[in-house]
Amino acid sequence: MRPLRETDYYKEAFQELNYPFGTFYLFESFVVAEIKKDVVFSWKAHAKPLVEELTNLYEQKGHDIVYISNRINPYSVVPSDWIHFFRHSYGLKGYAVVDSKPVGKRNSILEKIFMRSHMKTFTNLENAILWAKELAGNKEVA
């Protein structure tokens, strides 16, 4: 696994958001998230401010956006906090988890229980991006 910055896709990002808890790369129809090591990602401390900013930047509540979690660092997610996301009428066209470690794959199975959008797990970022572009209807490949 490698960070987005080390791929050819990095140059396609139109904006980069840097938070104390992670970096988010914005593309036309998807977002690549790289959360920092040992963060316990929760709705109140992390997702809510991020979702509010993305809603303003994309001028929508995410229904046409694919979110890719590029898990280059070990961190935790509070899976039940997805309820807050949906309670506020946010949605996603798709959700991808990129993690090559067995424990990461097991964690994504738990997250899937709480997800209401199309979710898929990948072992590399490039395949996740291709899937996101296809899901979004953008079949162009870098």
CA–CA separation, 97 vs 128, rounded Å? 8
* Domain layout of the chain by residue ranges: 4-135
Give which of 22, 112, 24, 8 is closest to 68, Cα–Cα: 24
pLDDT above 70 coverage of the chain, percent = 83
- pLDDT value at residue 105: 58
pLDDT in tens, 86-131: 777 677 888 899 998 766 555 555 555 555 557 888 999 999 999 9
With beta carbons less than 8 A apart as the criterion, state whether 31 and 24 touch: yes
Q: DSSP code of 46?
A: I
